[in-house]
Amino acid sequence: MIMVIKNGIVIDSGLKEQKMDIMVQNESIIEVAPDIDEGGYPVVDASGCYVLPGFIDMNCEICDPGYENIEDLTTATRSAAKGGFTSITSQPTTKPVVDNKTVVNYIISRSAKLSMVNVFVYGSMTTDCAGSSMAEIGEMVNAGIVAISDGGKCVSDAALMRNIMRYSSMFDIPVITACNDESLSAGGVVNAGRVASAYGLKGIPRDAEEIMVARNIVFSENTGCKLHISSVSTKGSVYLIRQAKARGVHITCETQPHYFTLSEDMVEGYNTLAKVLPPLRTKEDIEAIIEGLIDGTIDVISSGHTPKTIESKNREFDSASFGISSLETAFSVSYDALVSTGKITIGNLINKMSTMPAKILNLENKSTISDGSDADLVIFSADADYHINPASFASKAKFSPYGGKTIKGQVKYTIVGGEMVYIADL
């Protein structure tokens, strides 16, 4: 199949903005030039829109296999396509847990049949993601995982975590770590602070995150492993990571849009849609995270998509599930908050949502718009109003703290492997 994308503003890996045409044949880009003759092939008119490399999500839950009632490969990848994500990652906290090559092979095979976007598998660091013993990392690398992670679970055993980092360095794959000292956070449901006190809710202190960030930085510095810290939410974490990078530690990190657009104030009125883990923090933390995005301390913006059933959210706050549905909103919310306000350029945003994730996961051919690169593309209108209506989400998790809000910027088309997988209602 051949298609020609005409009249779009292309942002390539060099972050230049140029009005260019793109010819796609089968799964690859075969030409990028100012005025390509369409030669009778199908044309996609991208006038007034950006043509961007597809977004790559380093942190989302698909829930398949085992929890298909919450989300499955079809709904998750359809939701990803609507949000412009052409590649997503599969967390290992499924049932069964991805802690051996058999489950890795199963997910890769199932994804090839059912997925609308590329799915890359994370293997677990520990058996059953239980934090007690190291999983079969070597055999999972050979089976095709792109990183190891225990999802949102933190490995509390320091000796085990150090051994995992030391062993993983043999395979040159990233170790993706959640940072949460459960001896400090156990039972907590919101940020420890004003809102927790006002509403009588048990708080999760910043220390719970920052202590584990500091510990894992030390281990990475000593073992030389590729450490990637997920879900950075506090000012202190940003400071620790900035200082580590200045020392030359091989470390990358990510945050999600809700950590630089929403504060703990969203919890007021016991709003369970704002119950996420780590919890929403303070305006001071938001400012620090934005500064970290601007100066490059924070490398990646992921969706943090953690679907839950609406029944599990519609409960009293203490017993409601942590979670957010965000595949369809992550890029547009980030664009509205960061680019529309002049904090960063759209090229910088693409760097954090495509270029850097590809570099960290060794998927560089999926983050460039050039001859020979994979035809994973997004056509995005910066001028379109996007009214966020969770009821229309393709995800089974039809809820969002952004529900009812209208923002600037909407994905119009998503192309994966040269095939059009999403067209917005135009």
Domains of the chain: residue spans and CATH? 2-51+373-423 (2.30.40.10), 54-364 (3.20.20.140)
357: three-class secondary structure by DSSP: helix
Q: Are 191 and 203 in contact (CB under 8 A)?
A: yes
**Taking 60 as the threshold, does the pLDDT of residue 13 lie above it?**
no
Length of the chain: 426
Amino acid letter at 243? Answer: Q
Distance between start and end Cα atoms, the chain = 24
Amino acid letter at 276? Answer: V
Could you tell me the two tokens for 173?
Answer: 């794959």
DSSP string, 247-302: TT--EEEEE-THHHH--GGGGTTT-GGG--SSPP--HHHHHHHHHHHHHTSS-EE-
Q: What is the pLDDT of residues 336-386, one digit of tens each?
A: 999 999 999 999 999 999 999 999 999 989 999 999 999 999 999 999 999
Q: What is the pLDDT of residue 16?
A: 74
- State the average pLDDT over residues 125-135: 98
Distant-in-sequence contacts of 196-203, Cβ < 8 A, 24+ apart: 196/264, 198/268, 199/267, 199/268, 199/270, 199/317, 201/267, 201/317, 201/318, 202/318
The pTM (predicted TM-score) of the whole model is 0.97
The percentage of the chain sitting over the pLDDT mark of 70, rounded to a whole number, equals 99
Q: What is the pLDDT of residues 242-289, one digit of tens each?
A: 999 999 998 999 999 999 999 999 999 999 999 999 999 999 999 999
Q: Are 253 and 210 in contact (CB under 8 A)?
A: no
Q: What is the mean pLDDT of the chain?
A: 96
Q: What is the pLDDT of residue 14?
A: 58
Q: What is the pLDDT of residues 87-124, one digit of tens each?
A: 999 999 999 999 999 999 999 999 999 999 999 999 99
Per-residue pLDDT band at 1 (split at 50, 70, 90):
confident
Residues with Cβ within 8 Å of 389's Cβ and at least 6 positions away in sequence, in order, are 403, 404
- State the average pLDDT over residues 180-190: 97
Q: What is the pLDDT of residues 211-229, one digit of tens each?
A: 999 999 999 999 999 999 9
CA–CA distances in Å: residue 362 to residues 120, 145, 366: 11, 11, 9
DSSP string, 133-152: SB--HHHHHHHT-SEEE-TT
The percentage of the chain sitting over the pLDDT mark of 90, rounded to a whole number, equals 96
Phi-psi label, residue 408: left if phi above 0, alpha if psi -120 to 50, beta otherwise: beta
Distant-in-sequence contacts of 198-204, Cβ < 8 A, 24+ apart: 198/268, 199/267, 199/268, 199/270, 199/317, 201/267, 201/317, 201/318, 202/318, 204/180, 204/277, 204/278, 204/279
Q: What is the pLDDT of residues 40-94, one digit of tens each?
A: 999 999 999 999 999 999 999 999 999 999 999 999 999 999 999 999 999 999 9
- State the average pLDDT over residues 139-148: 98
Could you tell me the two tokens for 7?
Answer: 């009249």
- The DSSP symbol for 379 reads E
The residue among 241, 209, 247 whose CA lies nearest residue 228 is: 241
Q: What is the pLDDT of residue 144?
A: 98
The residue among 326, 372, 371, 376 whose CA lies nearest residue 350 is: 376
Q: Whole-angstrom Cα distance, residue 324 to residue 304? A: 7
Q: What is the pLDDT of residue 426?
A: 64
Per-residue pLDDT band at 147 (split at 50, 70, 90):
very high
- State the average pLDDT over residues 180-191: 97
Per-residue pLDDT band at 15 (split at 50, 70, 90):
low
Q: What is the pLDDT of residue 425?
A: 84
Q: Whole-angstrom Cα distance, residue 325 to residue 33? A: 38
User: For the chain, what is the radius of gyration of the CA atoms?
Assistant: 21
